[in-house]
A = this chain, B = another copy of it.
Amino acid sequence: MEKYSATLAMRLGKIWNWMADEGISLVMLEDTETRRDQNIRWLTGHPQDALLFISLNRQAGDNAVNGQAVLVAWDINLAKLCAAGAPVLLASYSDFDRKPLNAITAVTQKFDIPYGSKIEIPPVTPYPVFLDYVGELTNYDILCREKGIAAEINKLRAVKDEEEIAIIRKAASITNEIIDLLEKNVRSGKIKTEADAALFIEVESRKRGCDGTSFETLAAGPERSYAIHAFPAWTCAPFGGQGLSILDFGVKYGAYCTDVTMTFARDLNPKQEKLVNLVEKAYKLALSMAHNGTPAKDVAAAVDALFAKSKKQMPHGLGHGIGLQEHEYPNIRNRGENKWTLEPGMIFTIEPGLYDPIHGGCRIENDILMTETGAEILTTSEIIRL
């Protein structure tokens, strides 16, 4: 994935076609410290800290849709290694005083964007910054829309191609090796603390060629598992003792994330036992409903209804897509409007959980690939009774 490839060129081609349909001459994508965007990596292979400008060339009477792209990278050395090759030109962010406004102005000139054209900037552009763009690019029509270029790429990314599925399968198989070792080492007492568990995952993932973990491992022993996301993410506190311990982690392999949660249960009291049984029941219910063509909202609504019967409420969604990010489309949730339908090539988590401020929390989470014939469970985490 790190060199400019046919896959990346094909993705860029889709963007040019979309731009032609929308009548847009130039789009800007931004990946900076406060506004991260993996879409640049998806289109160029460059990992982080860059702007990407894509312009459309279309001659009258010419059916071929194509264009140009320039990656303005904070670290030009890194860009030369990761994003080299046509049709993406490279430039250094320092040449523009590291200001997006300077860069976009230079690009409109370099690519001869005709006055009056539509230029789209990222939908996360803050309102005051949007005003700066409008003030500077007075000869253009500046678009900043939730349903624009970013939404289009995110939608494309929700359905993985064969290359992506192969990488995520490999990431899942590494995750599963680590899941097995975690179970073994908690049972044997080699892993006794949250730190033991978190560091074990760091080491074992890198040993197997991963970029690292896909997010900071959340290791919460019985004293801290009441929180959805323990804070700090892990400490030197005991892990795996009496009660419920949650271990939420993922690996990043070839830029792609997994995301799983194991719960370790030991000597449960009746309330903890009830929590665990309910979460297991919810997990099985969700899997039994996750078919090709099913609305994602229906699956999540069924789990919410199951919990509601026991007067419980899950304080988070049932699941989410995974890929270059640990959270991406499709949404697998009941809350609000959710128009996603499960379709082949989607890879997402199913992760029912319940949390009690006194008795602790329980969550089970695996990664699911939707295929023509149904859900394939890629990962093997479970509730482990010690």
**A interface residue numbers (CB < 8 A to B):** 33-34, 36, 47-49, 74-78, 80, 82, 92, 94, 97-99, 123-128, 130, 144-146, 195, 198-199, 202-203, 206-207, 211-212, 216, 226-229, 231-236, 252, 313, 315, 327, 335-336, 355, 357
Q: Oligomeric state, in number of copies? A: 2
- Chain B residues lying within 8 Å of A77, measured Cβ to Cβ, are 226-227, 355, 357
Interface-centre pick from A75, A125, A144, A195 (highest chain B CB count, 10 A): A75
- CB neighbours of A97 from chain B (8 A): 335-336
Q: Which residue of B lies closest to A99 (CB)?
A: B336
Please indicate the chain B residues that have their CB under 8 angstroms from the CB of A98 in the complex. Answer: 335
How far is A268 from B313 in the complex, measured between Cα atoms in Å? 61
A126-B128 CB under 8 A given contacts A77-B227, A313-B94: no
A199 proximity list for chain B (CB < 8 A): 199, 202-203
Question: B residues within 8 A CB of A47?
Answer: 231
Determine which of B124, B125, B127, B207 lies in contact with A34 in the assembled complex, contact meaning CB atoms within 8 Å: B124
**Among the listed B33, B211, B234, B335, which residue makes an inter-chain contact with A327, where contact means beta carbons less than 8 Å apart?**
B33
Contact B195 A206, beta carbon cutoff 8 Å? yes
Determine whether the beta carbon of B212 is less than 8 Å from that of A233: yes
Q: Which residue of chain B is the closest to A37 with respect to CB atoms? A: B34
Q: Which residues of B contact A82 (CB under 8 A)?
A: 231
